[in-house]
Amino acid sequence: MKDVYKELKPPERILLGPGPSNVNPRVYKAMMTPVIGYLDSELLRIMDEVVEMLRKVFKTKNSITFPLSGTGTAGMETALCNVIEPEDEVLVCIKGYFGARIKDIVERLGGKPIIIEVPWGEIIPPEKVEKMLKEKKIKLVAIVHAETSTGVLQPLKEISNIVKKTDALLLVDTVASLGGTSIETDELGIDIVYSATQKCLSGPPGLAPITFSKKAIEIIRKRKNNISSFYLDINLLEKYWFGEKRKYHHTISMSLIYALHEALQIVLEEGLEKRFERHRRNAEALRSGLKAMGLKLIAKEGYQAPMITAVAIPDGVSDKQIRARLLKEYGIEIGGGLGEFSGKIWRIGLMGESSTQKNVLLVISALEKLLSEAGYKVKPGTGVSAVSAYYQS
């Protein structure tokens, strides 16, 4: 007899890892609205509104701004495969796990990655970018804004000013940062920016917002070779997303478009600057608690991302055991380390809906208890008191 599968009932979690973040009930409700055709006039109207709202969040007037069907890595691949041709030299700035992924994709496209690499936890020095641009014929400079593997937020202004003096394009990965801190796309002259919906925008995973400058689009139009991916070809996607006569390209997930539409409305209702301040304030409160407990932060002071905090695991404490107990006893998910930081750090995310005072107090209180029981010496209430004092101040 065939097994009868039970109804899906995944547990509710407090998502305080590097993504996804918790989703607002309004977004879930939007996803339950009817599926309609991919060229239905009502869907096209909703898509147009999503584009308008994304331009506001990206702080751009770029005409080619829309969400790709795919996760953040699809955004990364789209950004690269549309502009990179074989033998193109690409300056890849690596300060963590996702910078290394950009290098991998550049190589797969036949490009030549020129590497600037710094120890994990540090920022990319602008002077190194300037030096390399003088020595090489660089087509594209690629850099990660908020590196979730280390908790580092890369300053962009000085590097953008350097790149603007050349013919090179500037590409910025904002998968973790869009909606959690300001992305000044037009003001800084960034040519390509991509992100993902499941982090600071607090939508479900599955879409990758992206925007291209006029300069980037002109380079795409003039390329000698066909874009390697049909699915990610901006020339084809543009005909579906823009203009009076839309052309079928692929069957988009309208349920995800509904979700992003509602998530962006929530972002803009809160107000961008208020939202950024909320992320900054809660991150500072979290760090005050962690430091009071004697824990070491990975990212240097002044370069800490407001949406993700990387903290060193104390000697003698089991990474997996603490994270497993957090999940089982408190319903809290935090992230472990990636790459060279695997088993060495925890990554605590305060993104979008998950960035709340309540969650900061909860995770600090839980870590205090579990670390103490694991043999780490911490006076009860130390972290919670520090967090409370920060909010009161």
DSSP string of 298-354, one letter each residue = SSPTT-B-TTEEEEEPPTT--HHHHHHHIIIII-EE-EE--GGGTTTEEEEE--GGG
- What φ, ψ does residue 115 adopt, rounded to 5°? -105, 130
Can you tell me the distance from the alpha carbon of 363 to that of 51, in angstroms, rounded to the nearest whole number?
36
The Cα–Cα gap between 287 and 363 comes to: 12
**With 0-12 CB in 10 A as exposed, 13-18 as middle and 19+ as buried, what is 169?**
buried
The answer to whether residue 2 scores a pLDDT higher than 70 is no
Q: Is the peptide bond before 20 cis (omega within 30 degrees of 0)?
A: yes
Matching residue, tokens 């829309």? 66
CA torsion 8-9-12-16 (nearest 10°) is -30
% of the chain beyond a pLDDT of 90: 97
Place of tokens 């603490």: 322
**What gap in Å lies between CA 385 and CA 370, rounded to an integer?**
17
d(CA 305, CA 151): 5
Overall average pLDDT of the 22-49 stretch: 98
Q: What is the pLDDT of residues 288-336, one digit of tens each?
A: 999 999 999 999 999 999 999 999 999 999 999 999 999 999 999 999 9
Residue 345's beta-bridge partner residues? 312
pLDDT of residue 6: 87
Dihedral sign (CA 43, 46, 47, 48): positive
The number of angstroms, rounded, from the C-alpha of 75 to the middle of its chain's C-alpha atoms is 11
pLDDT, residue 209, reads 98
Model confidence, pTM? 0.96
The mean of the pLDDT values for the chain is 97
Tell me: pLDDT of 1 over 60: no
The secondary structure of 185-244 as a DSSP string is HHHHT-SEEE--SSSTT---SSEEEEEE-HHHHHHHHT-SS--S-STT-HHHHHHHHSSS
H or E segment at 66? strand 64-69
Domains and CATH numbers, the chain: 25-268 (3.40.640.10), 271-392 (3.90.1150.10)
The two three-digit tokens of residue 280, written as one number: 């900054």
Percent of the chain predicted with pLDDT > 70: 99
Q: Report the pLDDT value the prediction gives residue 142, as an integer from 0 to 100.
A: 98
| pLDDT above 60: residue 368 | yes
CB 149 within 8 A of CB 98: yes
Please say whether the dihedral angle defined by the alpha carbons of residues 342, 320, 349 and 262, taken in this order, is positive or negative: positive
Q: Encode pLDDT of 233-258 as tens digits.
A: 999 999 999 999 999 999 999 999 99
Q: Which pLDDT band holds residue 178 (cuts at 50, 70, 90)? A: very high
Question: How high is the pLDDT of residue 123?
Answer: 98
pLDDT for res 388: 98
pLDDT at 58 over 80: yes
As a whole number, mean pLDDT of residues 364-379 equals 96
pLDDT tens-digit readout, 280-290? 999 999 999 99
